[in-house]
Amino acid sequence: MINKDLREPFKRFKDINPYELFKGLKTPCYVIDEWGLKYNGKLLKDIQDKTGAKILLAQKCFSNYDLYDTLKPYLAGTEASGLYEARLGHEEMKDKEVHVFCGAYRADEFDELLKYADHIVFNSINQLKKFGPKAKLNGKSIGIRINPEISTQKGPEIYDPCSKGSRLGIPVSTLDRDLTGDLLNMIDGIHFHTLCQQNSDDLKITLDEIDKKFTKYLKNIKWINFGGGHHITREDYDIDLLIECINFAKNKWNVDVYLEPGEGVVLNAGFLLTHILDTFNNNNQIFVITDTSAACHMPDVVEMPYLPPLYLADLEGNKVDVRLGGPTCLSGDIIGNYKFITEPKENDLLIFGDMALYTTCKNNTFNGMPLPDIYILHEDNTFEKLTNFGYKDFKYRLGK
């Protein structure tokens, strides 16, 4: 079932007809909404102004650097998961902070990483020993990622960094055993990331646990990073409680506070357009095959899994049950089951919402599927095409 905020991804269309707006765009294609990015950005900037916290863009969620100038006035910088993202943030969001966390750094990349990163967070004591002194010598702020070992998620375990056997973050028992002397003195900050699409009540639960378990490590640090997974720009998000959590950390430990949401920055700020290629009825089930693929163009639909919001589908009174799928040979290339007002037809345009996140940065060319082109929808309802993907983008990633 689509949740009650189905219409939220389409609030852009309050006064315009999206079918007229998007008419003429070749599908499948992504449309990044400049208005939606600014809407989110203003909210995030207001939180920073009220608290002094710093909010970063998690590039693993959204790396469309042509929009970094749009986001730059509202953010303190970028968060990266490795060398290439760090370089992208450094080059494209100039004069802003670059923070990096990686499960393990490569020795043959670390010197170059030092050119771009301001904060470097380590995932193990071994990595801290190996790379910390060089990072410190180069003037970088050093952090460690902790595992509070308290799970607040209700979703798939694969997205829960606090699940049993997690490789992410250092538990307090390991810190007590191995973080001593010069290593302890090297630490400038503590990073944790325990949330995934969650509200601030779960952040408060996590902070309370950290306060109990990690007290002695919080006394002499300069900053704490709350990580990502904060759905700050969702309509039901408790911003007042988030502000309370930020102020709690600032006042109790005398630290700077960072957050690094991805989805919270680009939530409901993009669309994926697709046309229907075919419809048929097998065993009283209406099937619709689109020119977009869940597996290739919205992979989280398959991996999470989840049902993406679809414009005018599943509204009260809709009675036509339809299963949407992609054109690939993968039997699991299913977008999902929806209720339509009337039975859809070949060549109809379908508009998926909330498609700025984990799409353009995760898509692929499995089965030889073309990459969807990317457009900016400007605030004045004009379009700017950013890409011109084709056969070469499929071929040249496989050989010379």
Q: Which residue has the tokens 């949407």?
A: 324
Sign of the dihedral defined by the CA atoms of residues 13, 16, 19, 24, in that order: negative
Percent of the chain, pLDDT > 70?
A: 98
Say whether both 183 and 273 belong to one domain: no
Average pLDDT, stretch 385-392? 97
43 domain residue, yes or no:
no
Is 359 in the same domain as 371? yes
In a domain, 195, yes or no: yes
In a domain, 400, yes or no: no
Query: What is the reported pLDDT for 204?
Result: 98
Which residues fall within 8 angstroms of residue 284, CB to CB, at 6 or more apart?
A: none
Residue 3 has pLDDT above 60, yes or no: no
- Using the 3D structure, point to which of 209, 242, 266 is the last residue of a domain: 266
Note whether 204 and 101 are same-domain residues. yes
Question: Is 44 inside any structural domain?
Answer: no
* CA 112 to mean position of chain CA atoms: 25
Same structural domain, 28 and 85 = no
pLDDT recorded at residue 163: 87
Same domain, 273 and 339: yes
Domain for residue 40, yes or no?
no
| Cα–Cα nearest to 310, from 15, 4, 7 | 7
In a shared domain, residues 260 and 276: no
Q: Is residue 352 part of a domain?
A: yes
Q: Token match 């060319």: residue?
A: 365
CATH of the domain at 342: 2.40.37.10
CB 347 within 8 A of CB 276: yes
Which one of 266, 283, 317 terminates a domain?
Answer: 266
pLDDT of 1: 30
In this structure, is residue 37 part of a structural domain? no
Taking only the tens place, the pLDDT of each residue in 167-212 is: 999 999 999 999 999 999 999 999 999 999 999 999 999 999 999 9
Last residue of a domain, one of 266, 301, 327: 266
How far apart are the C-alpha atoms of 352 and 271, rounded to whole Å? 5
Q: Is residue 13 part of a domain?
A: yes
Same domain, 258 and 310: no
Residue 294 — very low, low, confident or very high, per pLDDT cuts 50/70/90?
very high
Note whether 242 and 334 are same-domain residues. Answer: no
The CATH number covering residue 142 comes to: 3.20.20.10
Structurally, the chain folds into a number of domains equal to 2
Pair (66, 210) in one structural domain: yes
Torsion, CA 91, CA 92, CA 93, CA 95, rounded to 10: 30
**Residues 151, 68: one domain?**
yes
Domain that includes residue 333, residue range = 8-32+269-395
What's the pLDDT band for 156 if we cut at 50, 70, 90?
Answer: confident
Average pLDDT over residues 332-357: 97
Pair 78, 153 in one domain: yes
Q: Are residues 14 and 60 in the same domain?
A: no
